[in-house]
Amino acid sequence: MSENSWLSPTSIEEWWSTPSQTGIKRPYSADTVASLRDVFPENHHSNAMALKLRSIFERVQKDKSVNLTTSVIDPVTAQIMAEVGFETLYVSGGMSANTDTATDDPGPDLADYTYDTVPKKVSTIYRSQLLHSRTARVNKTGKEEIPLLPIIADADSGHGQHTAIMKLVKLFVQSGVSGFHLDDLVSGVKRHDGKDGLSSVLVPTGEYLRRLVAAKLQLDIMGSEVVSIARTDAETATHITSTIDHRDRPFILGATAPLKQHFIHTEGNSAREEWKREARLSTLDDHFQSSYPDLYDQFKEETFNMNVSEALSIAQKLVSSFYWNYESPRTSEGWYAFKGGVQAAVSRANVAANISDVVWACAHGYNPDRAEAFAKGVQEVHEGKWMAYNVTGGFPDDGSADEQVKNIPSQLSSLGYVWLFLPIAGLTTVGLGSQTAMKSIKEHGLYGYLSQVSRPAARHAAAADGTSPEWWWKVMGKLADDAADAIGEGL
């Protein structure tokens, strides 16, 4: 887009009809976007990198392959990944939380870090890639072809309402990001031990969409090609904050048996489990259908697009004795019981797909049936929509799943997934890589350093790669030396 047309709604509309933008349904106008723009664009690095990411996804989709990557927590590993041939990088919120936050106060992955944490990590890694590429060019190392890898980053739940989301997206674009994922979780409430049957809590579909639209609006304001990934945790969610949205009705659980007390008055894990068993939780529609199969069609027709509260009134008009109570399972926080699963994920992904470039149902471990059900559910409605898949552990250590694991990428690519990533591998690989060297130095002192660190690294020196001290000292030093020579003795 030329600078003259930057503030023109017509040219914004023209941009929206280009291939990268045309699949997106915006609820706002080009006039609004134009009026919210700054006078100059500020997206050039990010745009170039995002277009590169888009072309990687296009290529793998065409080839029926999938782009595989891992998270990366530091610039050294990012450089190694470029050298060994990865094409994308992932910056994980969880791994940032564990190791390095903007307030220097790391912790478990609750997304409670300040919103600049992940953008700053992206910026560090992106700028390090620029430095490496400059170094290679200045030194003519033969590594000039090592590419800058597009970075996809974790935007969590957006760290607040629309203004926070827009600021976060702005920071990401400024950091050189190529893509980010935004989710439908309530930030900071995940239980790591599953106590009280609570794993993760969703916001209603409408709120999720508002997050995604806010992010897209900011991208549009910046004229940004950055890829937005709509992540949903509906597959594994156990609760939802509100029942207001009719699209969530098929997944809200209620008690079908009247119990003396509500869930919140039970104490301890086993009593709570017992309460749930006795309550015989079910969705409103399932319960009505199994209780009154003959009336179900009428119920469905009369309650089209109604949320659970509205639909329950109709159910009770049709059958005055009908019992279904979605209030009684509420937690002490007020959250409602939710039937997580692949259908819930598909339902959310299919609305999110209208405003996002990629959809992703986050779950831990690999489940081929769910991967397939999600892909089919999405592709039926949005043919060719880009999809992502994460593998976060969950395989047996005894090797019994090795063959299955080898086949995962081809299974996923045949289902249409374009991006496969290992969110926690960046931390583990750094840990494992250091372990051999550090153990050796600790056990054998200087000789350990010589045999396990400096000698192997010296072998790399000839290759001048990211593991070699020569690369970081002498080769990179030429940038400063050349600048000093250019400045000379002054004027």
- Judged by beta carbon, residue 152 or residue 355, the one nearer ligand MIC is 152
- Judged by beta carbon, residue 255 or residue 362, the one nearer Mg ion is 362
Amino acid letter for position 460: H
DSSP 91: E
Residues 224, 178: Cα–Cα separation, whole Å: 10
Q: Does 92 bind ligand MIC (CB under 6 A)?
A: yes
| Partners of 5 in the β-ladder | none
- Token pair, residue 141, equals 């190392």
Q: Does 362 bind ligand MIC (CB under 6 A)?
A: yes
Of positions 30, 53, 94, 129, contacts ligand MIC by CB under 6 A: 94
212 binds, among Mg ion, ligand MIC, none (CB under 5 to 8 A by kind): none
- Judged by beta carbon, residue 94 or residue 204, the one nearer Mg ion is 94
Q: Return the residues of window 106-135 that contact ligand MIC according to CB under 6 A.
A: 109
Q: Does 158 bind ligand MIC (CB under 6 A)?
A: no
Residues 1, 11: Cα–Cα separation, whole Å: 7
Residue 187 CB, nearest approach to Mg ion (Å)? 10
- Token pair, residue 179, equals 């893509």
Q: Does 179 bind ligand MIC (CB under 6 A)?
A: no
Residue 28 CB, nearest approach to Mg ion (Å)? 28
Distances (CA, A) of 379 to 90, 206, 314, 355, 415: 25, 22, 34, 16, 9
Q: Does 179 bind Mg ion (CB under 5 A)?
A: no
Distances (CA, A) of 366 to 5, 84, 124, 342, 407: 47, 26, 31, 13, 11
Residue 261 CB, nearest approach to ligand MIC (Å)? 34
Residue 117 CB, nearest approach to Mg ion (Å)? 11
- Which of 187, 169, 177, 153 lies closest to 426 in space, CA to CA? 153
Name the residue with the smallest CB distance to Mg ion. Answer: 93
- Judged by beta carbon, residue 198 or residue 424, the one nearer ligand MIC is 424
Q: Does 392 bind ligand MIC (CB under 6 A)?
A: yes
Q: Does 98 bind ligand MIC (CB under 6 A)?
A: no
Strands 358-361 and 227-232: parallel
- Judged by beta carbon, residue 92 or residue 139, the one nearer ligand MIC is 92
Q: Does 93 bind Mg ion (CB under 5 A)?
A: yes
- Token pair, residue 112, equals 């409670």
String marking each residue 399-438 x if it binds ligand MIC according to CB under 6 A: ------------------------xx--------------
How many residues bind Mg ion (CB under 5 A)? The answer is 3
Q: What are phi and psi of 203, to 5 degrees?
A: -95, 160
- 379-408 burial, b if ≥16 CB within 10 A, otherwise e? eeebeebbbbbbbbeeeeeeeeeeeeeeeb
Task: Say if residues 412 and 66 touch (Cβ distance below 8 Å).
Answer: yes
Task: Say if residues 220 and 317 touch (Cβ distance below 8 Å).
Answer: no
**105 known ligand binder:** no
- Judged by beta carbon, residue 395 or residue 472, the one nearer ligand MIC is 395
Q: Does 94 bind Mg ion (CB under 5 A)?
A: yes
Please, what is the angle between helix 117-139 and helix 75-84, to 10°? 50
Residues 246, 249: Cα–Cα separation, whole Å: 5
Residue 347 CB, nearest approach to Mg ion (Å)? 22
Task: Say if residues 53 and 150 touch (Cβ distance below 8 Å).
Answer: yes
Residue 237 CB, nearest approach to ligand MIC (Å)? 12
Q: Does 207 bind Mg ion (CB under 5 A)?
A: no
Amino acid letter for position 325: N
- Which of 136, 119, 147 lies closest to 56 in space, CA to CA? 147
Q: Does 154 bind Mg ion (CB under 5 A)?
A: yes
Residue 95 CB, nearest approach to ligand MIC (Å)? 6
Residue with tokens 């790399």: 460
Q: Does 329 bind ligand MIC (CB under 6 A)?
A: no
Q: Does 184 bind ligand MIC (CB under 6 A)?
A: no
How many residues bind ligand MIC (CB under 6 A)? The answer is 11
- Judged by beta carbon, residue 53 or residue 217, the one nearer ligand MIC is 53
- Token pair, residue 1, equals 């887009």
| Interface positions with Mg ion (CB under 5 A) | 93-94, 154
Binding site per annotation, positions for Mg(2+):
154
| Interface positions with ligand MIC (CB under 6 A) | 92-95, 109, 154, 362, 390, 392, 423-424
Binding site per annotation, positions:
154
